[in-house]
Amino acid sequence: MVSKRITPEVAQNDPDSFKSEVLQHMGTTTELGALAWNLGVNNGTVDPSRFVLNTRSWVSQSNGAGHLVLGTQPMSEGEKSRLLFHGERLSYLDEVSRRLLHELGHGALFLARHDTNMHTVRALTHSVRVQTGNAHGLSALGSMPFYETPNDKSIEDTTELLTMRMVGKDHFDDYMAFLRDPRYEAARTSSGIIALGDTDYLADTVNEALSEALSKSQSND
Ligand SMILES: [Zn+2]
């Protein structure tokens, strides 16, 4: 149920409607987005009163302590398809929802950072960055020059893996196929993504890490 056509202008003129439409869209079109939002609110990584819009660019940010900035300018078509897996299929509302989900992914990573599986995903993404001299990793977003150190890049890689799983199991499985299928070599290379021979271990660990993170939601209810 979309009561208002959501555009970058709505973000400027009516930020409250914009935020609630994006939140509702994210919750209804992704498998785990609503749970991730509740996880953040229940554990203090998202404070709804400090959820604000950045209407000047698509750059978004969250600090793990409740402050969340959501960028509302659209990516160019090129950025969208290069930086987001299957990004070319996303509407404007899908794209903004995806960014919100990514920020919630940072919160999930933060909350579960001491858990074994999350720690393993972090170690994996980091070692890929170190082994490739920082040139390649497990996500296109992490390969943006904006992120410089292997640590910063692998935090984005980890967050993107969590985000893709939160979108849905099929989407995540498609991305795992993208990582290992030789047919996508050119697309991977142009996005700074490494090839994996086997993705079962990565997929299992991301799944476990995310369920552990989301299970923390009940603790403060
Ligand atoms: Zn990020």
The H-assigned helical ranges of the chain are: 8-13, 15-29, 33-43, 77-83, 92-111, 116-131, 150-167, 169-180, 185-191, 200-215
How far away, in angstroms, is 94 Cα from ligand 1 center?
17
Protein residues with C-beta less than 5 angstroms from the ion ligand 1:
156, 159
- Assessment of whether the complete model's pTM goes beyond 0.75: yes
Classify burial at 76, counting beta carbons within 10 Å of its beta carbon; exposed 0-12, middle 13-18, buried 19 or more: exposed
Mean pLDDT for back-to-back runs of 10 residues, the chain (221 residues): 78 97 97 97 96 97 94 96 95 98 97 97 98 96 96 98 98 98 96 97 98 81 44
How far away, in angstroms, is 141 Cα from ligand 1 center?
8
* pLDDT on residue 219: 52
Backbone angles phi, psi at 181, to 5 degrees: -80, 120
